[in-house]
Amino acid sequence: MKSNWRHVLGGGLIALYLVGASAVVRAEDARIRALTRNPAAHQAAIEGGKKASFFCINCHGNNGISSLTDVPNLAGQNPDYVLVQTRKFGNGQRKDEFMEGLIKVLSEEQKVQIALFYAAQQVTPGKQDVALVGKGKQVYTQFCSRCHGNYARGNEVIPRLAGQHTDYLELSLKRYKSRSGERVDPLMFNAVVPLKLDQIKAVAAYLNTLP
């Protein structure tokens, strides 16, 4: 009975968190909504984002597919999520000395354009050991799918994980688990704490294979 109550309570807290976060995104990011409703303006914003992201290429790649496996792919990522994360780097909520400095030189319009540019890029799934992927799918279904969705594509407040680098996923999950400070999110901490290192490796492999 106690475990059932914890499950229900946890689900309620997740729902409240997502509703509140979605409301904030909708209020802050009306610019994204306006641009995506206008095809010509949307395309112009994507082109503007390609130009504004010139300093991102060395780490995140020309089209959001990073050549550095511990740096996240941004291709196909939800534009609202990218925009929120750029703001977090700008105000210190996310810790990365290099990113914090770069984000501060961008205007708000450039941040919107960059988010839309990366969202429009094609995701490239990887290939992993079949047995490891099967184990990772089980882990994902049990611990992650409630928030990130059945296909790991997230939404405006939850990141897309499909097609992401395994090294980056493993690093991020380990940081949540250890509470090292680079990544701070109570819901993620609670989800990751029960995972063993072999489960983290497996779920990262599974996510890397998703389109």
What are the mean pLDDT values of the chain's consecutive 10-residue runs (211 residues total)?
45 52 59 96 98 94 95 97 92 87 92 97 96 98 97 95 98 93 86 96 98 95
The pLDDT value recorded for residue 185 is 86
The pLDDT value recorded for residue 46 is 98
Exposed, middle or buried, 70 (CB in 10 Å: 0-12/13-18/19+)? middle
The pLDDT value recorded for residue 192 is 95
The answer to whether residues 21 and 80 touch, using CB atoms and an 8 Å cutoff, is no
Domains 2-119 and 130-208 share a fold: yes
* Whole-angstrom distance, CA of residue 37 vs CA of residue 40: 9
- CATH architecture assigned to 2-119: Orthogonal Bundle (1.10)
The pLDDT value recorded for residue 183 is 80
The pLDDT value recorded for residue 6 is 45
The pLDDT value recorded for residue 123 is 92
Helices 197-208 & 166-178, crossing angle to 10 degrees? 140
The answer to whether residues 84 and 72 touch, using CB atoms and an 8 Å cutoff, is no
Task: Please choose, from the candidates 73, 93, 6, the residue with its C-alpha nearest in 3D space to the C-alpha of residue 210.
Answer: 73
* Topology (CATH level 3) of domain 130-208: Cytochrome Bc1 Complex; Chain D, domain 2 (1.10.760)
Residue extents of the structural domains in the chain = 2-119, 130-208
The pLDDT value recorded for residue 5 is 43
- Backbone conformation region of residue 179, classed left if phi is above 0, alpha if psi is from -120 to 50, else beta: left
